[in-house]
Chain A
Amino acid sequence: MAQVERLAFMGDEAVAYAVKQSNVDVIAAYPITPQTIIVERLSEYVANGELDAAFIQAESEHSALSICVGASLAGARVYTSTCSQGLALMHEIVYATSSMRAPMVMTIVNRSLNAPLNIHCEHGDIMAERDSGWIILFAANVQEAYDLTFIAFKLGEDPSVLLPVSVNMDAFVLSHSIEPITPISDEDAAKFLPPRKYEFEVDADKPITYGTMALPDVYMEFKMQLKEAVESSAKIFEKVVSEYAKLSGRRYWYYQSYMIDDADAIVMALGSTYGTLKTAAKKLRNEGLKIGVLALTMYRPFPEKQLAEILRNTKALVVMDRAYSYGGIGGPLYTDILGTLYRNDIKIPVKNVVYGLGGRDFKLDEAEAVLRMALDGAEAGRFDVNVSWWGVKG
């Protein structure tokens, strides 16, 4: 572990710095708020000769991701970034990317989808791609957005994985907030991420037909392979985070948690809300209240087994969703958790809190109220309402 200076970065800048240190070969992107700073910084690095990569500003997100697929199949280390409308425009190619087993890293600066037009934080964009076969990671702060970028490259490019990885980072809350981070050194980054090696890269000496047509007699077998690849990537994730821990001193896992071991009730969320919940939980713990907080770092593949072990030991759970399934039974994380509990024979009351859509603030006092609500549910052995939309006006 080399000694490095602490740096102050906005989330977007920290990610761009990590991408530069990852020695990428091809970057293709299209500007969209609040991702723009990432691609601006990367184009500066390339323009100033600090990063030897092809920087391609595509004419749309659809083309940006298509460029990335071509570049990845050709053997390059590939990076892109988008959010919201841009991710929705990519949708068709999002599925092609994972199914063609074209590894790349995409930072998604999670933002709401139209309409109404809104550029602020929400997880609805990535949730629309939830079932695509991408590995989905969530950062809770700027340091994590930085670290997970390296982990994502290493994981996706592993020859036994070969999958695209998205690193999700809350719009503005992280993308535009300056936080101190401890980077890894360029030498350590190069050691962790040597140039990509891809056995099946485009090469006229070994001609391969990529993206064939597959009819009903074989299509399901292709998809079964995708399913198995995504699920077994979890084992490689364990290996990769352990290697990164040796390098950085920071250990990542499927989830992160605060005081869950003896918790009467747990509140769980994705992204930066974890920090808010944790701060509020500290206060409640000081009052002697047994509350725990949980956040997923890895959302796909879904760490069902690990979560079941945790949730078996608590009395009530509040699942916070910054997205919603309209006409469904709740938010996406909530329904994943309900399935996990049922399948693992865990019978505890669960409530879904839908919050922060379109960037509505979720403040410390509100976090405290949600934690207290979880504890009330534990005491009562039930919640009165299954799903509540937090803080919606009259």
Chain B
Amino acid sequence: MSEPYLRTVKDITIEERFAQGHRMCAGCGAAIAVKLALKALRGPTVIVNPTGCLEVSTTCYPYSAWRLPYIHVAFENSAAVASGVVEAIRILNKKRGKKLHDVIVIAGDGGTFDIGLQALSGALERGHNMLYICYDNEAYMNTGIQRSGATPLGAATTTSPAGKVIPGKQERKKDLIAIAVAHRIPYAATASIAHPVDYINKVRKALEIEGPKVIHVLTPCVPGWRYPPSESVRLARLAVETRYFPIYEVENGKLRITIRVDKPKPLEEFLRPQRRFAHLLRPENAHILEALKKNVEENWQRLIKLEESGVTL
């Protein structure tokens, strides 16, 4: 795709496939991520969604926020359910002309990094033509903010509390895109709700590519990260500006940073507004803050090297 789908925010369609009136929190980053992703559709589309905030807040019978076919089955199996939808529609198209549909999974980090990782790996390996979007709020928010494989080093959750002896999560976050790219899929990318044109263009580009695609979008969570609802997009932007969440894509193994951050802001600017990190800014936990900063910087340098070397991942 030589021309991007959108040039500016003014090009974004006003059509809403994700209806207002759902029960997501005020300021929910995931709701913004879904709303924006559905601005990129190119035709008939099916959404598959595992159990989680998004599911319980948008499908409470007899209401639904989905103006397109939507399937929820369980927590760990969205990539598998989507595999079945993709292959069924493909064979029914061949046998009796059923209209082809794009199939998009929208799954949280718990359903992707942890319990759904096996199903995701199986689907990526089998090569089904689907787009898998992980909205990552960095913990199990639906059950009340428990740590996940996506929770960053040091963050306090209800199962990795900021205790006197163990101050927050002691392990670093999994690298989802590296895992996805290891399956040699044609397209994987990160995205931010603070950069809607980049994000929507990536969703559209992914839909145009045949095969399995993964997009990882960071979605601030008001109750989970503990900040005022008005700050979601600003935090998402700070995550990019501090290099905490680098925005890049890997197309046919070639990595390209799509939002360059030449002069990063101090990581504290991203951390300070969030009470999940409050303990990291206290002197006794300076070593954890340093370790987190080191993770962030190492990751950025690794991406820069991969981009500059032009190596095929």
Contacts and interface: CB of A to CB of B under 8 A. Distances in A.
Interface of A: 25-26, 28, 52-54, 56, 58-60, 62-64, 66-76, 78, 92-93, 96, 100, 195, 201-205, 207-215, 218
Interface string B106-136: 0000000000001101100110000000000
Contact of A62 (B70, B77, B125): B77
B59 A202 contact: no
B118 A63 contact: yes
Contacts of B46: 74, 202, 204
Pick from B48, B77, B94 the residue with the most CB of A within 10 Å: B77
Given A67-B84, A218-B61, A25 B74 contact: no
A92 B74 CA distance: 8
A214 B73 CA distance: 13
A28 B122 CA distance: 12
A96 B91 CA distance: 24
Contacts of B227: none
8 contacts: A26-B84, A54-B88, A58-B80, A62-B76, A69-B81, A70-B85, A71-B85, A204-B46
B247 to A, nearest CB: 30
B88 A207 contact: no
A207 B83 contact: no
A221 to B, nearest CB: 10
B95 A195 contact: yes
B282 interface: no
A25 to B, nearest CB: 5
A66 B91 CA distance: 18
Interface stretch (B96-104, B158-166, B188-196): B96-104
A66 B84 contact: yes
Contact of B73 (A28, A96, A209): A96
Nearest to B85: A70
A52 B91 contact: yes
Contact of B81 (A70, A195, A201): A70
Contact of B96 (A71, A195, A207, A209): A195
A78 B94 CA distance: 16
Contact of B44 (A26, A56, A204): A204
Interface residues of B, number: 48
A71 B84 contact: yes
A211 B119 contact: no
Contact of B99 (A66, A73, A203): A203
**Which has the most chain A C-beta neighbours within 10 Å: B44, B90, B122?**
B122
A212 B59 contact: yes
Contact of A26 (B70, B88, B121): B88
Given A54-B87, A195-B96, 7 more contacts: A59-B125, A66-B77, A67-B83, A71-B87, A93-B77, A96-B73, A213-B55
A209 B64 contact: yes
Nearest to B94: A52
A1 B66 CA distance: 49
Contacts of B43: 204
B95 A26 contact: no
A138 B95 CA distance: 32
B56 A213 contact: yes
B89 A212 contact: no
Given A59-B122, A63-B119, A213-B55, A70 B92 contact: no
Given A67-B84, A211-B73, A213-B59, A202 B89 contact: yes
Instruction: Name, among B43, B45, B79, B91, the residue most crowded by chain A CB atoms within 10 Å (CB to CB).
Output: B91
Contacts of A74: 46, 84-85, 88-89, 92
